[in-house]
Amino acid sequence: MVRLLLLRHAKSDWSNISLADHDRPLNDRGWQAGEMIGRHIAKNALFPQLVLCSTALRTRQTLSCLLQHMNCEMRIQIMRDLYETSEADYVDLLTAMGGSATTVMIIGHNNAIQDTALELIGSGDIDLRQQLEAKYPTGALAVIDFDAPRWSSIMPRTGELQAFFRPRYLEVVSS
Protein backbone atom coordinates (compact mmCIF):
# COMPACT_ATOMS: atom_id res chain seq x y z
CA MET A 1 0.00 0.00 0.00
CA VAL A 2 1.14 3.56 -0.76
CA ARG A 3 -0.28 6.79 0.66
CA LEU A 4 -0.52 10.20 -1.00
CA LEU A 5 -0.81 13.46 0.94
CA LEU A 6 -2.02 16.28 -1.32
CA LEU A 7 -1.52 19.67 0.32
CA ARG A 8 -2.57 22.94 -1.25
CA HIS A 9 -0.31 25.76 -0.07
CA ALA A 10 -1.59 27.93 2.77
CA LYS A 11 -3.20 31.35 2.20
CA SER A 12 -0.96 33.78 0.31
CA ASP A 13 -0.51 37.51 0.60
CA TRP A 14 -1.91 39.67 -2.21
CA SER A 15 -1.05 43.05 -0.64
CA ASN A 16 1.91 43.72 -2.94
CA ILE A 17 0.43 43.62 -6.44
CA SER A 18 3.84 44.25 -8.03
CA LEU A 19 5.09 40.81 -6.96
CA ALA A 20 5.12 38.05 -9.54
CA ASP A 21 2.70 35.24 -8.68
CA HIS A 22 5.61 32.85 -8.10
CA ASP A 23 7.03 35.23 -5.45
CA ARG A 24 3.91 35.76 -3.33
CA PRO A 25 4.52 34.88 0.35
CA LEU A 26 2.07 33.55 2.91
CA ASN A 27 -0.08 36.04 4.78
CA ASP A 28 -0.56 35.91 8.56
CA ARG A 29 -3.52 33.56 8.23
CA GLY A 30 -1.45 31.33 5.96
CA TRP A 31 1.37 31.07 8.51
CA GLN A 32 -1.16 30.16 11.20
CA ALA A 33 -2.82 27.57 8.97
CA GLY A 34 0.56 26.07 8.08
CA GLU A 35 1.32 25.66 11.78
CA MET A 36 -2.07 24.01 12.39
CA ILE A 37 -1.59 21.59 9.49
CA GLY A 38 1.94 20.79 10.72
CA ARG A 39 0.68 20.02 14.22
CA HIS A 40 -2.16 17.94 12.78
CA ILE A 41 0.24 15.93 10.59
CA ALA A 42 2.47 15.25 13.61
CA LYS A 43 -0.44 14.36 15.91
CA ASN A 44 -1.75 11.85 13.38
CA ALA A 45 1.69 10.56 12.31
CA LEU A 46 1.08 11.40 8.64
CA PHE A 47 4.80 11.61 7.92
CA PRO A 48 5.97 11.40 4.32
CA GLN A 49 9.22 9.79 3.23
CA LEU A 50 9.21 12.03 0.16
CA VAL A 51 7.96 15.59 -0.27
CA LEU A 52 7.52 17.06 -3.75
CA CYS A 53 7.11 20.83 -3.38
CA SER A 54 6.57 23.59 -5.94
CA THR A 55 9.26 26.26 -6.21
CA ALA A 56 6.74 29.05 -5.50
CA LEU A 57 7.54 30.98 -2.31
CA ARG A 58 4.16 30.25 -0.71
CA THR A 59 4.58 26.48 -1.13
CA ARG A 60 8.10 26.55 0.28
CA GLN A 61 6.91 28.61 3.24
CA THR A 62 4.06 26.14 3.80
CA LEU A 63 6.65 23.36 3.82
CA SER A 64 8.74 25.29 6.37
CA CYS A 65 5.72 25.37 8.72
CA LEU A 66 5.39 21.60 8.46
CA LEU A 67 9.06 20.81 8.96
CA GLN A 68 9.00 22.20 12.50
CA HIS A 69 6.62 19.37 13.43
CA MET A 70 8.14 16.46 11.55
CA ASN A 71 10.62 14.34 13.48
CA CYS A 72 11.28 11.91 10.69
CA GLU A 73 13.63 11.17 7.83
CA MET A 74 12.41 12.45 4.48
CA ARG A 75 13.67 13.44 1.09
CA ILE A 76 12.52 16.83 -0.22
CA GLN A 77 12.42 17.76 -3.90
CA ILE A 78 11.67 21.39 -4.76
CA MET A 79 10.32 21.24 -8.30
CA ARG A 80 9.52 23.95 -10.83
CA ASP A 81 7.34 21.38 -12.66
CA LEU A 82 4.74 21.59 -9.86
CA TYR A 83 4.12 25.29 -10.55
CA GLU A 84 1.35 25.95 -13.10
CA THR A 85 0.92 22.38 -14.30
CA SER A 86 -2.06 20.07 -14.66
CA GLU A 87 -3.20 17.00 -12.75
CA ALA A 88 -1.69 14.81 -15.46
CA ASP A 89 1.70 16.38 -14.72
CA TYR A 90 1.28 15.85 -10.97
CA VAL A 91 0.35 12.19 -11.49
CA ASP A 92 3.25 11.69 -13.93
CA LEU A 93 5.70 13.23 -11.44
CA LEU A 94 4.30 11.08 -8.65
CA THR A 95 4.61 7.84 -10.59
CA ALA A 96 8.10 8.75 -11.84
CA MET A 97 9.51 10.18 -8.58
CA GLY A 98 7.69 8.16 -5.88
CA GLY A 99 10.26 5.40 -5.91
CA SER A 100 10.25 3.25 -2.78
CA ALA A 101 8.56 5.83 -0.54
CA THR A 102 5.38 4.46 1.03
CA THR A 103 4.05 7.96 1.76
CA VAL A 104 4.53 10.91 -0.60
CA MET A 105 3.38 14.48 -0.01
CA ILE A 106 2.84 16.93 -2.85
CA ILE A 107 2.66 20.61 -1.89
CA GLY A 108 1.26 22.51 -4.81
CA HIS A 109 -1.40 24.73 -6.28
CA ASN A 110 -4.99 24.63 -7.37
CA ASN A 111 -6.44 23.65 -9.75
CA ALA A 112 -3.83 20.90 -10.13
CA ILE A 113 -4.07 19.69 -6.50
CA GLN A 114 -7.86 19.37 -6.61
CA ASP A 115 -7.87 17.88 -10.11
CA THR A 116 -5.21 15.34 -9.09
CA ALA A 117 -7.29 14.25 -6.11
CA LEU A 118 -10.42 13.93 -8.24
CA GLU A 119 -8.49 12.01 -10.91
CA LEU A 120 -7.09 9.50 -8.41
CA ILE A 121 -9.94 9.00 -5.91
CA GLY A 122 -12.23 6.10 -6.69
CA SER A 123 -13.64 5.37 -3.25
CA GLY A 124 -13.84 6.66 0.30
CA ASP A 125 -16.20 8.75 2.38
CA ILE A 126 -18.79 10.21 -0.02
CA ASP A 127 -19.34 13.35 2.05
CA LEU A 128 -15.61 14.12 2.11
CA ARG A 129 -15.37 13.47 -1.63
CA GLN A 130 -18.21 15.94 -2.27
CA GLN A 131 -16.55 18.54 -0.04
CA LEU A 132 -13.25 18.09 -1.88
CA GLU A 133 -14.98 18.35 -5.24
CA ALA A 134 -16.87 21.52 -4.23
CA LYS A 135 -13.82 23.35 -2.87
CA TYR A 136 -10.19 22.60 -2.11
CA PRO A 137 -9.29 25.61 0.04
CA THR A 138 -5.81 26.86 0.77
CA GLY A 139 -4.07 24.75 3.39
CA ALA A 140 -6.34 21.75 2.76
CA LEU A 141 -4.83 18.26 2.94
CA ALA A 142 -6.24 15.12 1.33
CA VAL A 143 -5.03 11.68 2.42
CA ILE A 144 -5.44 9.06 -0.30
CA ASP A 145 -4.44 5.39 0.00
CA PHE A 146 -3.76 3.04 -2.89
CA ASP A 147 -3.76 -0.74 -2.81
CA ALA A 148 -0.61 -0.76 -4.95
CA PRO A 149 2.92 -1.93 -4.17
CA ARG A 150 4.60 1.12 -5.75
CA TRP A 151 3.80 4.49 -7.29
CA SER A 152 4.35 3.33 -10.84
CA SER A 153 1.38 0.94 -10.33
CA ILE A 154 -1.25 3.51 -9.36
CA MET A 155 -4.09 4.10 -11.77
CA PRO A 156 -6.83 6.74 -12.02
CA ARG A 157 -9.84 6.22 -9.75
CA THR A 158 -8.10 3.54 -7.64
CA GLY A 159 -7.31 5.67 -4.58
CA GLU A 160 -9.39 5.62 -1.42
CA LEU A 161 -9.94 9.00 0.25
CA GLN A 162 -9.11 8.50 3.93
CA ALA A 163 -9.37 12.12 5.10
CA PHE A 164 -9.79 15.70 3.93
CA PHE A 165 -8.52 18.27 6.45
CA ARG A 166 -9.15 22.01 6.14
CA PRO A 167 -7.51 24.62 8.38
CA ARG A 168 -10.85 26.27 9.21
CA TYR A 169 -12.14 23.05 10.77
CA LEU A 170 -8.84 22.24 12.47
CA GLU A 171 -8.96 25.69 14.08
CA VAL A 172 -12.43 24.97 15.50
CA VAL A 173 -11.33 21.58 16.82
CA SER A 174 -8.16 22.95 18.46
CA SER A 175 -9.90 25.91 20.12
Looking at residue 171, its pLDDT comes to 55
pLDDT tens-digit series, residues 92-142: 999 999 999 999 999 999 999 999 999 999 999 999 999 999 999 999 999
Among 133, 163, 131, 159, smallest CA distance to 145 is for 159
Residue ranges covered by each domain of the chain: 2-9+21-174
Whether this model's pTM surpasses 0.85: yes
Q: What kind of architecture, by CATH, is found in domain 2-9+21-174?
A: 3-Layer(aba) Sandwich (3.40)
Among 16, 18, 36, smallest CA distance to 27 is for 16
> For 146, phi and psi rounded to 5 degrees?
-125, 135
According to DSSP, the residues that pair with 103 across neighbouring strands are: 3
pLDDT tens-digit series, residues 82-95: 997 877 789 999 99
